[in-house]
Structure 1
């Protein structure tokens, strides 16, 4: 792990871990925020929308994925989960914010910018390959190398067959 990644991953993960713990402790508040969104989506969901259970799942996912990211275990997967959860949190918090006062609108804006920044950081962490090529890049180059090597082998075999046929026919 590089000198930058070593402190950066736990720094990014800390906000998600604390938020996950908060969601687990205050399930009722999180469920209340999720309620309008879940009411609208309940027709499309293949399961009954239990707000408290979904709030716990979101909190547990944030806590678990944040801990994994902080420890450097499955960093791209955990960062991807955190980006997804952060996007959901951004939408839910933006929809449920109190905008009846100027202070409420300013607070909503500050929360929106914070959440967008965290989502962006998690997205960057999700695509960070730590200086190693991604699996897609490696697979693509492995296939190209196999085609090149296979092409040379095929040409070599073709020449050998033609040579053998020429010797047989010419003899």
Structure 2
């Protein structure tokens, strides 16, 4: 791991760990802003999820905030430590979307200053989302699985072609050698 990655991952995840701990300990300050989002999101999740999972999704906004906070803490620690970093970054990115929509809905603000502040926070979260998406696809300079699979297939095809050409050359050489041996045998028969 490079020095940049060793520094960047904990820096990127710190806000999520801190906010996640805060949400788990005391979700009440976030309930009012989260309620409109959870009211729309929970029925969609329950409908889309299999029954055994959908039945376990809490309907209480405070419980959902705690659950989101716990996910942010775990995913933030995964990203910071590098153990499960890509999954951690993906979970953080997924949790950031509803959080941003609930907490920074600048389009609903009437006050000009409040609207500007919420727009700034919204854009900051978009920047964090971009960083998380980059972290989610970061393979640390090593080729990803998709590249390795396609590259492996191309290499196998090249090797197969090389093998076929070599086999053709061998076959031609064997044919030439057999013809030469036949001519030599024929010449010995006529001499003998």
Could you say whether these structures have the same fold, taking a TM-score greater than 0.5 normalized by the shorter chain as the test? Answer: yes
Partner of 2:30: 30
Partner of 1:109: 119
Could you say what secondary structure the match of 1:4 adopts?
helix
Partner of 2:71: 61
Where does the alignment leave 5 or more consecutive residues of structure 2 unmatched? 47-53, 183-192
Partner of 2:187: none
**Match of residue 130, structure 1, among 135, 140, 146:** 140
Once the two structures are overlaid, the 10-residue window that deviates more, 36-45 or 134-143, is 36-45
Q: How many angstroms does 1:150 deviate by?
A: 2.4
Distance in 2 between residues matched to 1:83 and 1:45, nearest whole Å: 17
The two structures have a TM-score, normalised by structure 1, of 0.82
Q: How many residues align?
A: 169
Distance in 2 between residues matched to 1:154 and 1:57, nearest whole Å: 59
Partner of 2:98: 88
Per-residue CA deviation, residues 53-107 of structure 1 (Å, 9 max, x unaligned), is 3212210111111111111112222112111212221111123897243332222
Could you say what secondary structure the match of 2:104 adopts?
helix
Distance in 1 between residues matched to 2:108 and 2:22, nearest whole Å: 20
RMSD: 2.7
Distance in 2 between residues matched to 1:3 and 1:81, nearest whole Å: 24
Where does the alignment leave 5 or more consecutive residues of structure 1 unmatched? none
Report if the CA contact (8 A) 1:27-1:52 is conserved: yes
Question: Aligned pair in 2 of structure 1 residues 155, 31: CA closer, same or farther (>3 Å)?
Answer: farther
**Match of residue 162, structure 2, among 135, 152, 161:** 152
Q: How many angstroms does 1:156 deviate by?
A: 4.6
Once the two structures are overlaid, the 10-residue window that deviates more, 144-153 or 38-47, is 38-47
The two structures have a TM-score, normalised by structure 2, of 0.74
Could you say what secondary structure the match of 2:34 adopts?
helix
Q: How many angstroms does 1:152 deviate by?
A: 3.0
